[in-house]
Amino acid sequence: MKRITAIALFILAGLVSASNVLAQDYGVRATVPFDFTVGNKVLPSGTYTIEPATENVIVIRNREKHIAVMSISHGDSKQSKTGKLVFNKYGDQYFLHEILCSSVDMSVELPTSKMEKRARLQEARLEGSPQVFLALNQ
């Protein structure tokens, strides 16, 4: 499968480290400019906080739109000097794949959902599937 990488950097409106106002010290805030999928839930664009709930579960929350989604996550050995969210893109659908943020020691990968697998198969028949990166401001 052909993969194309696209990088989108958002300095002010992008991703920033979470402040002490967050419920936990260990989280990040991200402004995502497009709708995206976590598991089998499609989330609208907006500002989200991402925090660990347990060792292998994260919570993705948009307080303005009263949305909260929990997802299983797996530790990831990848490191990033700049924090970023990694999305897999198939057609016009974005799927959250990784969260890399060294400032809060969060480096996790999300499992591939059935919805993403279907989108990947459909896209593979047509062309490639790029990953999209959003930078964290730390």
> Region 97-116: what's the mean pLDDT?
88
pLDDT tens per residue across span 83-105 = 889 999 988 899 999 998 877 77
Alpha-carbon gap, residue 47 to 61, rounded angstroms? 8
Q: Tell me the Ramachandran region of residue 94: left when phi exceeds 0, alpha when psi lies from -120 to 50, beta otherwise.
A: beta
Q: Which residue has the higher pLDDT, 90 or 20?
A: 90
Q: 138 and 13 in contact (C-beta within 8 Å)?
A: no
> What per-residue confidence (pLDDT) applies to 14?
35
> What per-residue confidence (pLDDT) applies to 32?
95
> What per-residue confidence (pLDDT) applies to 64?
93
Predicted TM-score (pTM) of the model is 0.71
Given a cut of 60, whether residue 10 has pLDDT beyond it is no
Residue 120: how many CB atoms within 10 A of its CB?
18
Q: Which residue has the higher pLDDT, 6 or 91?
A: 91
Q: How confident is the model at residue 26 (pLDDT cuts 50, 70, 90)?
A: low
DSSP letters for the chain: ----EEEE--TTTTEEE--TTSSSSS-EEEEESS-EEETTEEE-SEEEEEEEEETTEEEEEETTTTEEEEEE-EE-----SS-EEEEEEETTEEEEEEEEEGGGTEEEEPPPPHHHHHHHHHHHHHS---EEEEEEE-
